[in-house]
Structure 1
Amino acid sequence: MKFKALTKTSAFAVFVLIEVSTFGLKAQNPIIQTNYTADPAPMVHNGTVYLYTSHDEDNTVKNFFTMNDWRCYSSTDMVNWTDHGAILSYKDFSWSRGDAWAGQCIHRNGKFYYYLPVNQKNGGNAIGVAVSDSPTGPFKDAIGAPLLVGYGYIDPTVYIDDDGQAYLYWGNPNLWHVKLNADMVSYNKEYGIVKEDLKDKNFGFRAKKNDNRTAAYEEGPWLFKRNSLYYLLYPAGGVPEHLAYSTAPNITGPWTYGDTIMHVIKEGGAFTNHPGYIEFKGKSYLFYHSGALPGGGGFKRSVCIEPFKFNADGSIPLIAPTKEGVTESASNLNPYKRVEAETIGWEEGIETVKDENAGVYVTNISNGDYIKVRSVDFGKGAKTFLAGVASASTGGKIEIHVDRKGGSLLGVLDVKNTGGDKNWKMLSCKVNVVKGVHDLYFVFKGADGNLFNFDWWKFSNK
């Protein structure tokens, strides 16, 4: 994890350690701390939110966007996010040479279609489409070639209208759209590629006129419908970007400029932004990215969420970025079913990796690291804690606390050497009874170095 890389010895590192520890006390934003994530694309499917993100690498090449794959996270409560790891790489498109930028996934007819911008081996921007039978992959190139090719062909957003017709919008510095065919991997050539006329009344006044653009629209469109109105959210105004929106009575316009949704983020911001929107369990959520994680910035961004309410007339209010983010969970977590260790409300110190056999698990655990899991419903109380762990070292301990990192101690799981860091064992310990809903903290203790790997956990009332 990047926090750990920044928190070794030296006076500077001590300062960063203090800053990170303070940062995590009340924070929920950014929602992912194990990787730099950007360009959020949330999708609701069967009662679960799947969040698709691009991935800013820890090491930036030539001081520019260094992005090689796309990642997926899921949640049923909007406060705890399960890491599914990298689900697709630009290398999975044989015709691509790199730049895994902002995309969006959508479900149709039992399959999941993921529209993604990359650069071609022979140069130039292109949009590809990957397909999977599962929202968490594996995804594969659906057609073995680009779906669309052209300068500025980036940041696709996809929406299926009420009549079943699917539309794809995309673009920087222009905005285009096509009608997708029913197969979702080709488009209506007769309808063609439609280029929007970017005017102030449609997409806002652009204060900076020295870049040969007219309206405020910049890139990263996000299309959805609410009630009888179509919304297009987008980064706007030039660099640094703010978020704005336009509305239309039809999915193809005419668009009318609405207003600013989020100002340029000055504290912990990045020079880009990217909106995403869902309604989940009766509440509205705006997704965006910032540079707020320690070590973050314009090329190391992180996804955040803000709940909000539409105004009575359907307009979107000005939304302020916060550290608190989503303060109320959409549902409580059941600790009596197996929970993946990479299901995290907040963490400090750990990392996650993906293995063909074990899937995603928590690793690089050191003394003092912790994982917070929010809104855990213990009901009438548990008696036993069980976990899947593996260790090639002397191991360590998992202290189980509630409500805060140093809160009431439920129990301690002693993790010894299991014969290998992938030789998984199920271990258990007795716990003190706690009832009702609490935040849960796993605090890791032990000697220097990596203590053990952590795959899953659950409680039992036996």
Structure 2
Amino acid sequence: MSKRVKKLSILLVVCILVSISGINTVFADYPIFYQRYTADPSGIEANGRLYLYCSHDVYDPSNPGYKMNDITCISTDDLKNWTDHGEVFKASGWASLSWAPTVVAKNNKYYMYFGNGGGSIGVAVSDSPTGPFKDALGKALITGSTPGVNAPSGFWCFDPGAFVDDDGQAYVYFGGNGEGNTRVIKLNDDMISIKGSASQIVAPIFFEASLLHKYKGKYYFSYSTNFSKGAATIDYMMSDNPMTGFQYKGTVLANPPSNEGNNNHQCIFSYKNNWYIAYHNRALAIANGASSGDARTYQRNVCIDKITYNADGTMQKVNITKDGLTQLKYVNPYVVNEAETMAQESGINTEACNAGGRDVCNIENGDWVKVRGVDFGSAGATSFDASVASANSGGSIEIRLDSADGKLVGTCNVAGTGDWQKWVTKSCAVSGATGVHDLYLKFTGGSGYLFNINNWKFNTQASKIVYGDLDGSGDINALDFSLMKQFILGSITKFPSADGITAADLDGSGSIDSLDYILLKEYLLGKRTQFPVEIK
């Protein structure tokens, strides 16, 4: 295991607020992921979560360049805490590189299209949004020789943007390095073969990052401009047809701050009935102390922003800030939470875990992870459990609130277990953790790697939580059912009871959704006498 480049405190992240001309602007978050350098995001909603697939930047100062040959996947259900799923695809065989992926779902599968550098486009497939994705063809799907591409000199066959229309027809948009170098081609129903010939789309000062999305019956082709008029921007066109008739509408995203005026790559998508744009800048490299030039150019980080549409369907221009998105829901500390789900970290890494998923590893003295917006309720936590492993002598987990040096509410001691993947549960008492706080798990100990952590969970006195009682009345009735419905519809974001968020999670899944609604309905109809969370 190799130690990563950074020991990052949030105080070191460059705090820049940029005013961009225009009215009705909206806001962004960056960086959203700290463990590795990522770029060129593609976003989809699946299983109630938002998944982003990103190029994985690996910088070699002796041979700088875009050497990305695997794809990183992260996901969230609250837009603040992101689960690290690791690298879900790696180029091999005919392809030595995997640049700028795009992922779509069809046929109960997930299809990933990627660039083998700037020379061709491949396709990989998985049964799960978290992979692993496997090369579907063992060769390129699209090249400069594909019918209709008619690649001119300098044409880049890369940056695929896949789109599946409402009628099931799928398309891939691609190309680069010239105003007339955008192409679109249909896919067959199998999603791994092409239908017919490619067509040309002409976009003003087009450079790269072809993408199509659809909103209220209109098709939006967005892309990165070249540098002929200054730093590259994300511009867009609109049409009533996915292949022709596009009319230029302007810029939706200026070149972001902390980007050195360099390249950008966007994805526009919906999640829980709101629209977002993901892209990248160089804020993480700058905060990590990377010098100007190649070290910043080739080490990027992913950002996310909310998109707002005007009444005529045009998109409002984004005003980029560092922390503009609202956390969609608080974290429930009284269910098992994966350690690799976090808002920020300092010093750690993650790795594949023999118990499934990933674990936090490479932990040294003073490292920490931050979990945003944890709701301990009014009763508060009484104890803390962590699944840990260590081939060394271990260390301690300091449980702190609101900062890495904030209020200490408990300390969990970790001894060696004999192996980095031999998991045991360690527990400690907790006092003073009530209400909503950012949770910091700060790791302390001697020299070298201390221990790994797979997951964690707080405990409270169960008698103080009445599951289904969302108004704090002590009873479960039709008012609680109405509150549950309002919460799921987004009409309210909290319950009258301070423990309402915990009390509404009736299946113990860590989220409040339609299944909890059904469970509460069954209880009120007399079809059940207790909830799954009470059985676990």
Corresponding residue of 1:209? none
Residues 60/356 of structure 1: CA separation in 2 closer, same or farther (3 Å cut): farther
Structure 2 distance, partners of 1:449, 1:132, is 38
Structure 2 distance, partners of 1:456, 1:55, is 25
Corresponding residue of 2:225? 236
User: What amino acid sits opposite 1:186 in the alignment?
Assistant: S
Residues 54/333 of structure 1: CA separation in 2 closer, same or farther (3 Å cut): same
Give 1:41 shift: 0.4
Residues 277/358 of structure 1: CA separation in 2 closer, same or farther (3 Å cut): same
Query: Does structure 2 retain, via aligned residues, the 8 Å contact 1:270–1:291?
Result: no
Give 1:412 shift: 0.9
Instruction: Say which is worse superposed, 259-268 or 143-152, in terms of deviation.
Output: 259-268
Corresponding residue of 1:132? 126
Give 1:193 shift: 1.1
Residues 25/432 of structure 1: CA separation in 2 closer, same or farther (3 Å cut): farther
**Mapped pair 1:195 → 2:197:** no
Write 1 or 2 for the structure with the bigger share of strand.
1
Give 1:133 shift: 0.6
Residues 87/186 of structure 1: CA separation in 2 closer, same or farther (3 Å cut): same
The Cα RMSD (Å) is 2.4
Give 1:237 shift: 2.8
Corresponding residue of 1:227? 216
Structure 1 distance, partners of 2:64, 2:113, is 26
Query: Does structure 2 retain, via aligned residues, the 8 Å contact 1:291–1:297?
Result: yes
Structure 1 distance, partners of 2:299, 2:61, is 8
Corresponding residue of 1:89? 90
Give 1:61 shift: 5.6
Structure 2 distance, partners of 1:128, 1:359, is 26
**Mapped pair 1:217 → 2:206:** yes
3-state SS in 1 of match to 2:12: helix
Larger radius of gyration: 2
Q: 1:350 aligns with which of 324, 348, 351?
A: 348
3-state SS in 2 of match to 1:103: strand
Query: Does structure 1 retain, via aligned residues, the 8 Å contact 2:256–2:281?
Result: yes
Query: Does structure 2 retain, via aligned residues, the 8 Å contact 1:60–1:299?
Result: no
Query: Does structure 2 retain, via aligned residues, the 8 Å contact 1:270–1:298?
Result: no
Query: Does structure 2 retain, via aligned residues, the 8 Å contact 1:290–1:297?
Result: no
3-state SS in 1 of match to 2:209: coil
Structure 1 distance, partners of 2:169, 2:255, is 35
Corresponding residue of 2:525? none
Query: Does structure 2 retain, via aligned residues, the 8 Å contact 1:305–1:325?
Result: no
Give 1:408 shift: 2.4
**Mapped pair 1:340 → 2:338:** yes
User: What amino acid sits opposite 2:211 in the alignment?
Assistant: W
Corresponding residue of 1:286? 277
3-state SS in 2 of match to 1:314: coil
Query: Does structure 1 retain, via aligned residues, the 8 Å contact 2:15–2:322?
Result: no
Corresponding residue of 2:453? 454
Query: Does structure 2 retain, via aligned residues, the 8 Å contact 1:112–1:135?
Result: yes
Structure 1 distance, partners of 2:273, 2:94, is 42
Structure 1 distance, partners of 2:15, 2:357, is 30
Give 1:267 shift: 3.2
Corresponding residue of 1:5? 5
Structure 2 distance, partners of 1:387, 1:437, is 20
Query: Does structure 1 retain, via aligned residues, the 8 Å contact 2:252–2:316?
Result: yes
Corresponding residue of 1:73? 74
Corresponding residue of 2:433? 434
**Mapped pair 1:115 → 2:120:** no
1:141-176, Cα deviation, whole Å (9 max, x unpaired)? 112221111252101111111222111111113111
Residues 25/117 of structure 1: CA separation in 2 closer, same or farther (3 Å cut): closer
Corresponding residue of 1:57? 58
Give 1:432 shift: 1.4
Corresponding residue of 1:106? 104
Corresponding residue of 1:180? 187
Residues 25/385 of structure 1: CA separation in 2 closer, same or farther (3 Å cut): farther
Structure 2, unaligned runs of 5 or more: 17-27, 145-154, 462-536
User: What amino acid sits opposite 1:180 in the alignment?
Assistant: L
Query: Does structure 2 retain, via aligned residues, the 8 Å contact 1:38–1:54?
Result: yes
User: What amino acid sits opposite 2:13 in the alignment?
Assistant: F
Query: Does structure 1 retain, via aligned residues, the 8 Å contact 2:113–2:123?
Result: yes
Residues 24/346 of structure 1: CA separation in 2 closer, same or farther (3 Å cut): farther
Equivalent residues in 2 for 1:398-409, closer than 5 Å: 398-409=397-408
Give 1:130 shift: 0.6
1:205-253, Cα deviation, whole Å (9 max, x unpaired)? xxxxxxxxxx311111121111121112211133742211111111113
Paired residues, number: 426
Equivalent residues in 2 for 1:28-47, closer than 5 Å: 29-47=30-48
3-state SS in 2 of match to 1:297: helix
Query: Does structure 1 retain, via aligned residues, the 8 Å contact 2:417–2:423?
Result: yes
Give 1:70 shift: 0.4
Structure 2 distance, partners of 1:46, 1:420, is 34
Query: Does structure 2 retain, via aligned residues, the 8 Å contact 1:29–1:325?
Result: no
Structure 2 distance, partners of 1:221, 1:443, is 42
Residues 309/157 of structure 1: CA separation in 2 closer, same or farther (3 Å cut): same
Query: Does structure 1 retain, via aligned residues, the 8 Å contact 2:257–2:281?
Result: no
Corresponding residue of 2:470? none
**Mapped pair 1:148 → 2:153:** no
Query: Does structure 1 retain, via aligned residues, the 8 Å contact 2:238–2:247?
Result: yes
Corresponding residue of 1:157? 161
Residues 61/55 of structure 1: CA separation in 2 closer, same or farther (3 Å cut): farther
Corresponding residue of 1:12? none
Give 1:137 shift: 0.8
Give 1:354 shift: 2.2
**Mapped pair 1:23 → 2:9:** no
Query: Does structure 2 retain, via aligned residues, the 8 Å contact 1:396–1:414?
Result: yes
Instruction: Say which is worse superposed, 388-397 or 232-241, in terms of deviation.
Output: 232-241
Corresponding residue of 2:516? none
Give 1:424 shift: 1.5
Give 1:356 shift: 5.2
Equivalent residues in 2 for 1:372-383, closer than 5 Å: 372-379=370-377, 380-383=379-382
What TM-score does the superposition give when structure 1 sets the normalisation length?
0.86
User: What amino acid sits opposite 2:184 in the alignment?
Assistant: H
Residue identity (%): 39
User: What amino acid sits opposite 1:125 in the alignment?
Assistant: G
Corresponding residue of 1:277? 268
Q: 1:256 aligns with which of 226, 232, 247?
A: 247
